[in-house]
Amino acid sequence: MSDIDTGSQEAGDRGKTLESGMPSSEIKFIQGNEVCVEAALYAGLDFFAGYPITPSTEIAEHLSARLPQAGKTFIQMEDEIASICAIIGASLTGHKVMTATSGPGFSLMQEALGYAVMTEIPSVIVNVQRGGPSTGLPTHASQGDVNQARWGTHGDHAIITLTASNHQDVFSITVDAFNLAETYRTPVILLFDEVVGHMREKVIIPAPGQLPLVERLRTSVREGIDYHPYLPREDGRLPMSDFGGVHRYNVTGLVHDMWGFPSGNPQVVQGLLRHLVDKINNNAREIARYKTYFTEDADCMLVSYGSSARSALHVVMNRRQRGEKLGLLELQTLWPFPAHVVRDVCARAEYVVVVEMNMGQVLEQVKLAVDKAQKVFLANRIDGVFINPTDIRNILRLIQGKGV
Amino acid sequence: MSIKQFIRERFFPHMWCPGCGHGVVLNAMLRAVERLGLNKNDIVMVSGIGCSSRISGYVDFHTLHTIHGRALAFATGVKMSRPELNLIVPMGDGDALAIGGNHFIHAARRNIDMTAIVMNNRIYGMTGGQYSPLSGHGILATTAPYHNIDQGFDIVNLATAAGATFVARTTTYHVQQITDILCDAITHKGFSVVEIMSQCPTYFGRKNREGGAVEMMKLMKDRTTPIGSKAFQENPDLIQRGIFVKRDQPEYCSEYHKVIEKAMKGR
Ligand SMILES: Cc1ncc(C[n+]2csc(CCOP(=O)(O)OP(=O)(O)O)c2C)c(N)n1
Ligand code: SF4
């Protein structure tokens, strides 16, 4: 279908035919949380630390069985703070790492998340969102943590946050999260939600080799020669050296120089903060993952993500059959916000409706991205009930001046 | 060989005040590493935040200076992913037992093989002399201008009850004993806790009129005694030093290895 396109760079690799004798792909009917587990293992997950919390717990449960089968490490820590700290430590020894949580646990992780940003530690943090604030609605649908993912930790920084609406995409985006974490030496947040996490759906587990994997960039500096852990190459990437290996260096959450030594030198401070932000924000186009459905001629553009995008897509398909020119831009990268994509895709639309389960966290970004903020509307639910196509249609009728 | 080989000279001069006990700990610890003949590449030092935690920057090991209170959690990740490495985790008393108290008892309970050193100066040095969970009743601090009404922890009892399989205490006055105990602690397979009573003349000493570093160290000499000594029987108010606990119990990484074996067989 030429009307449906995906912005993901790896999309072209997915349909590859396999040579005979190669292990083939496998079909499963499982929960979204299990898909995340399968994808993490596919991406090469070596180490998981976590603390149980609904609606993410199945990720820890499945990994507690699967990781030791592969000779890899699972540990249940005493809380979420300890969990994220443990994965940062494990990543430094050269391993691919992940933790998974939900709102309250994600709040607890924020200080250490900032540490991973500052020390540039590849890591994947899954937040299967629940309603908030506080204990909120543990078993209900919400997408209220979009801004916490962006600004939860203190200080200026950049962050990568990805999401997905269906199990096949949960698989590929989880693999992507590991790849981006290695490429940019950064924590990556996977922001799923209760609906996607708990729903069962078909997923095709790709055969090994079908999806590209990014392995850690390790330094080629030999033993005995000075290695600078925080000296970026010309392309901005920083080769790493495993803790326990031949290069001994210092890692600190204090502002540091290229040696990893604490520094208060204004030039060093400015240089480091710019580097941390630029390495991600300057690559916003490469990091942008999104899908478009019938966007070419749409008068009304829905912009959505995560499970909300399922209902949005349903509305678009349904209205198209009746000749209404609706389109959908489904965002999979939430941060850095793909403003260029939103601006381009929404340029011709008369109005834009952001579909999400919060009070307008992505709405604000879309308003900033498009030429006329007045043409952007919000279709949302914040009552813990999954937003359905009727909810969206009702709001569309109001916007179109058709009443309820 | 000189212990200078373990030092990152580029990092000096260090940030500690003159007379601070933390430098004594650094010195004695490096002598332990030298005596044990450990390879620098096999040592990972993980610390938190505080004057004490700055110790990691000065040593030429793999060093991870983390966030306040969480050093043991980071160290757990390092150790579980590379069990053959030697983990040394120096912490302040506030770092280890206020904000980090939960990680402390759980690391002890797991009996994960690492050496936790609590540099106990009974005060928050880095933030300017506030009371810590080790200050004890009656102490003066910048947040206890009248007197502290909090009871203090006993680190040895706490660590023992939590399940640490090696527990010891000494002071910065007893430099040789620090080295001896650390050698034992580092070679012990399991979670080792070494409390080193230390002096912060800048805040604790000044606030509580204990004098300068020399007077404070003399006080530590006078207030402590070897475990079970005659002096202790006569004066139970004395603080005992030495090795309180040293026992064998399955170590966490080895236990996890058994889980791997079971999981792999079951496949
Ligand atoms: C989350 C957090 N809370 C508070 C602080 C401020 N802080 C830094 S060091 C410290 C206490 C230091 O005392 P201690 O651990 O006993 O070590 P010392 O400086 O005495 O060696 C505090 C409260 C911090 N860095 N992070
Ligand atoms: S403030 Fe106290 S603990 Fe900190 S360096 Fe000075 S003497 Fe040492």
Last residue of a domain, one of A150, A184, A205: A205
Q: What proportion of chain B, given as a percentage, has pLDDT over 90? A: 97
Across the range B29-51, mean pLDDT stands at 98
A97 lies in the same domain as A200: yes
Asked if residue A238 is part of any domain, the answer here is no
What is residue A235's predicted lDDT score, i.e. its pLDDT?
Answer: 85
Would you say residue B128 has pLDDT above 80?
yes
Burial class (CB in 10 A: 0-12, 13-18, 19+), A283: middle
Query: What is the 3-class SS of chain A, one letter each residue?
Result: CCCEEECCHHHHHCCCCCCCCCCCCEEEEEEHHHHHHHHHHHHCCCEEEECCCCCCHHHHHHHHHHHHHCCCEEEECCCHHHHHHHHHHHHHCCCCEEEEECHHHHHHCHHHHHHHHHHCCCEEEEEEECECCCCCECCCCCCCCHHHHHHCCCCCCCCEEECCCCHHHHHHHHHHHHHHHHHHCCEEEEEEEHHHHHCEEEEEECCCCCCCCCCCCECCCCCCCCCCCCCCCCCCCCCECCCCCCCCCEEECCCECCCCCECCCHHHHHHHHHHHHHHHHCCHHHHCCEEEECCCCCCEEEEECCCHHHHHHHHHHHHHHCCCCEEEEEECEEECCCHHHHHHHHCCCCEEEEEECCCCHHHHHHHHHCCCHHHEEEEECCCCCCCCHHHHHHHHHHHCCCCC
Across the range A117-128, mean pLDDT stands at 98
CB of A92 within 8 Å of a chain B CB? The answer is: yes
Give the ipTM of the model, two decimals please. 0.97
What is residue B199's predicted lDDT score, i.e. its pLDDT?
Answer: 98
What is residue A404's predicted lDDT score, i.e. its pLDDT?
Answer: 79
Q: Count of domains in chain A?
A: 2
Would you say residue A2 has pLDDT above 50?
no
Task: Supply the CATH number for residue A320's domain.
Answer: 3.40.50.920
Task: Name the residue facing A112 among B57, B70, B266 (closest C-beta).
Answer: B70
Would you say residue B100 has pLDDT above 90?
yes
What is residue A11's predicted lDDT score, i.e. its pLDDT?
Answer: 37
Last residue of a domain, one of A152, A176, A205: A205
Asked if residue A353 is part of any domain, the answer here is yes
Asked if residue A138 is part of any domain, the answer here is yes
Kindly determine whether residue B80 and residue A90, on different chains, have CB atoms separated by under 8 Å: yes
B contacts of A259 (beta carbons < 8 Å): 10
Across the range A94-111, mean pLDDT stands at 98
CA angle A146, A114, A120 (to 5 degrees): 110
Across the range A225-250, mean pLDDT stands at 94
Across the range A170-190, mean pLDDT stands at 98
Distance from CA of B163 to the nearest CA of A (A): 15
Asked if residue A216 is part of any domain, the answer here is no
A301 lies in the same domain as A177: no
pLDDT in tens, A357-373: 999 999 999 999 999 99
Give me ligand 1 centre to Cα A133, in Å.
Answer: 28
Distance CA A44, CA B132 (A): 43
Across the range A113-126, mean pLDDT stands at 98
Distance from CA of B63 to the nearest CA of A (A): 5
Would you say residue B174 has pLDDT above 50?
yes
Would you say residue B20 has pLDDT above 50?
yes
What is residue A314's predicted lDDT score, i.e. its pLDDT?
Answer: 98
What is residue B1's predicted lDDT score, i.e. its pLDDT?
Answer: 59
Closest CA to A71 of B83, B101, B117, B21: B83
What is residue A3's predicted lDDT score, i.e. its pLDDT?
Answer: 59
What is residue A234's predicted lDDT score, i.e. its pLDDT?
Answer: 87
What is residue A15's predicted lDDT score, i.e. its pLDDT?
Answer: 37
What is residue A20's predicted lDDT score, i.e. its pLDDT?
Answer: 52
Asked if residue A249 is part of any domain, the answer here is no
Distance CA A228, CA A212 (A): 29
pLDDT band at A18 (very low <50, low <70, confident <90, very high): very low
What is residue A13's predicted lDDT score, i.e. its pLDDT?
Answer: 39
pLDDT in tens, A192-221: 999 999 999 999 999 999 999 999 999 999
Asked if residue A264 is part of any domain, the answer here is no
Asked if residue A363 is part of any domain, the answer here is yes
- Residues with C-beta less than 6 Å from any ligand 1 atom: B 49-52, 68, 92-95, 119, 121, 123-127, 132, 200
pLDDT band at A17 (very low <50, low <70, confident <90, very high): very low
What is residue A236's predicted lDDT score, i.e. its pLDDT?
Answer: 83
Across the range A89-108, mean pLDDT stands at 98
What is residue A1's predicted lDDT score, i.e. its pLDDT?
Answer: 39
pLDDT in tens, B189-220: 999 999 999 999 999 999 999 999 999 999 99
Asked if residue A317 is part of any domain, the answer here is yes
Last residue of a domain, one of A167, A187, A205: A205
**B45: three-class secondary structure by DSSP:** strand
Q: What is the pTM of this model?
A: 0.96
What is residue A5's predicted lDDT score, i.e. its pLDDT?
Answer: 60
B contacts of A250 (beta carbons < 8 Å): 8, 56-57, 63, 65
Q: Hey, what's the torsion of the CAs at A228, A234, A237, A242, to 10 degrees? A: -30
Q: Give the residue on B whose Cα is nearest the Cα of A83.
A: B73
Domain segments of chain B as ranges: 15-266
Residue range B15-266, CATH number? 3.40.50.970
Residue pairs between chains A and B whose CB atoms are closer than 8 Å: 128
| Domain hosting residue A323, numbered range | 291-399
Across the range A39-59, mean pLDDT stands at 98
